[in-house]
Structure 1
Amino acid sequence: MTEAAFRTDDYAPAEALLRAALDRAVREGDRRCEAAALDRLGMLTHFRALHRGTRSEDAPAELALFEQALAIRREIGDRAGIAQSLFGLGLVHQVLLRDWETAMPLFRQALAAADGVADDITLSEIHRHIGSFHAVVENDLDVARRHFQLSADLRERHGDPRWIQGGTLALGQTEVLAGRRAEAIRLLRLAVEQERAAGIRGHGAGQAAEWLVRAETSPPEGQPGADSAESSRPGGASGDGRTSGG
């Protein structure tokens, strides 16, 4: 599924595997695997929605899958799974429904549940979306930067170059908005290189290059017209939900 999200946009093989896994789990009474398959189907549905262009009509199907997964995971006490499904619900409310008021409590619950048990990418994505809230809604770039840095560090530790680029991009965008031109250019050049090296295509590809042009053509720090958080918002930092999946 990660390969489809970042490169191919071909979700059919992953969907077939997940539906087969779901059928087998239900047949065998394996609640943990049933919940995992439901959650990943929810994320696959989200990825497809992103590639089509985010639409609120895609939300009900995603919400149903994440809610079913969350109910099972709460029933069996799967904390890591609970964090993952809470994040999925928050993602739908933020990205498809544009409802930060509902999304943020879910992200905060996910962060609490994830403590000490979640995988690096799930935790990274939770921090990235919380950072987006502080950048986009609260206009607090210092707090946003702390969450984006935690997210980037977790991606680096995970080691998959397809994920690492998004962490660098969010940090670079934040530096543009903060008016720190030199650091923004450094980070965004790195993000462009990482995108090329990782072979990232499709949804979200090209954002780093666009923001690099913006950073390179902005006035130096301290001059009139320098970027500020009020002038616009980070694209990648707003979050698209490319979260963990095989």
Structure 2
Amino acid sequence: MTTAGAPALPVGADPVLEAAFVTGDFDAADRALADRLAVARGAGERGAEAALLHWQAMALHYRAIDAGLSSLAPETIEAEEALFTEALGLRRSIDDRAGVAESLFGLGLVHQVLRGDWDAAEPYFFEALTEADEHADLLTRSETHRHVGFFHLVVTDRHDVAVGHLRHSLALRQELGDPRLLATASLALGQALLVAGERSEGVAVLRESVEQAGSGRLRPLWATMTADWLRRAEAGETPSFARTA
């Protein structure tokens, strides 16, 4: 959870982030979202309904990462995509520009992460970035800069541009103040710095990532990943972000 006085997370985000990064208990997240969704629908709160649909999709997304992306069934991908699409439609209908940015980003995730299709993901991420920078919350802005940064690492090979986006993504998470979200942002920046030839800073940022994983109580999936990449970087390895689609 964010600390007292810190900026708010998007509606529906907290139980999903807690499950994804700390507890692994997605069933608890699903129950919390379903309960809140029923209340929102009963009250006719379409903005909250759309936000909760979006985070139901994000819960599916993190479950998919847990299960292993190489073995996903098509219907699993389609279920996540359908929720993001429903949320986006609702948000467009009420002119919720911040929400539109968040759900455009979600659809980009489906294409990039689940399908490995950067060409399909690109327009969603870049439209999300434009909307997010003007209208959205800190987490949505951080996420869109993060994945546009990855786009430049993988697709354009503009490593300096990638580093800029990933550095900004980390800064936004630092401003948000949620300790669960820092380690993976530092990991991404550290890896990008290694690719850009900035090995000394890259290793230093990866060390920070390991420390942040501990202070954020991250589950082994993430804590092991950060520690492994620090070890590999200290041994002289540079990440490869070769495009697969």
Q: TM-score, normalised by structure 2?
A: 0.86
Picking from 7, 10, 17, the partner of 2:32 is 17
The alignment partner of 1:98 has SS state of coil
231, 234, 241: which one pairs with 1:233? 241
Instruction: Give the CA deviation at 1:210.
Output: 1.7
Decide whether the 8 Å contact of 1:80 with 1:117 is kept in 2. yes
Aligned equivalent of 1:44, options 59, 77, 80? 59
98, 123, 127: which one aligns with 2:145:
127
Of Structure 1 and Structure 2, which has the larger fraction of its residues in helix? 2
CA contact (8 A) 2:132 2:144 kept: no
Whether 1:82 aligns to 2:82 is: no
Question: 1:109 is matched with which residue?
Answer: 127
After superposition, where does 1:1-246 map in structure 2 within 5 Å? 1-54=16-69, 55=72, 57=74, 58-218=76-236, 227=238, 232-233=240-241
Distance (Å, rounded) in 1 between the aligned partners of 2:51 and 2:192: 34
| Percent identical residues | 46
Give, in whole Å, the separation in 2 of the partners of 1:33 and 1:101.
31
- Stretch deviating more after TM superposition (119-128 or 165-174): 165-174
Amino acid at match of 1:124: S
Name the residue aligned to 2:4.
none
What are the Cα deviations for residues 143-192 of structure 1, in whole angstroms up to 9, with x where unaligned?
10010011011011001111111221111111222232221221111111
CA distance, structure 1, for counterparts of residue 88 and residue 213 of structure 2: 33
Ranges in structure 1 where 5+ consecutive residues have no aligned partner: 219-225, 235-246
| Alpha-carbon distance, 1:33 to partner | 1.7
TM superposition shift of 1:92: 0.7
Alignment match, 2:8? none
Letter in 1 for 2:234: E
Distance 1:80 1:203 in 2: 30
SS of 1:233's equivalent in the other structure is: coil
Counterpart of 1:138 in structure 2: which amino acid?
T
| CA distances 1:11-54 after superposition (whole Å, capped 9, x unpaired) | 11221121122223223322112111111111111111111112
Letter in 2 for 1:191: S
Shift of 1:142: 0.5
Q: Considering Cα pairs closer than 8 Å and 6+ residues apart, tell me whether 1 or 2 has the greater RCO.
A: 1
Pick which of 56-65 and 102-111 moved more: 56-65
> SS of 1:15's equivalent?
helix
Q: 1:8–1:202: 8 Å Cα contact kept in structure 2?
A: no
Displacement, 1:56?
A: 5.2
For residues 189 and 205 of structure 2, what CA distance do their matches in structure 1 show? 7
Residues 205 and 110 of structure 1: CA distance in aligned 2, closer, same or farther (over 3 Å): same
Mapped contact 1:86–1:110 kept (Cα < 8 A): yes
Secondary structure at 1:115's aligned position in 2? helix
Contact 2:173–2:181 at 8 Å: present in 1 too?
yes
CA distance in 1, matches of 2:198, 2:97: 39
Aligned residues: 224
Structure 1 residue 202, shift from structure 2 partner: 3.8
Per-residue CA distance 1:46-87 (angstroms, 9 max, x = gap): 111111112252210001101111101100000111111111
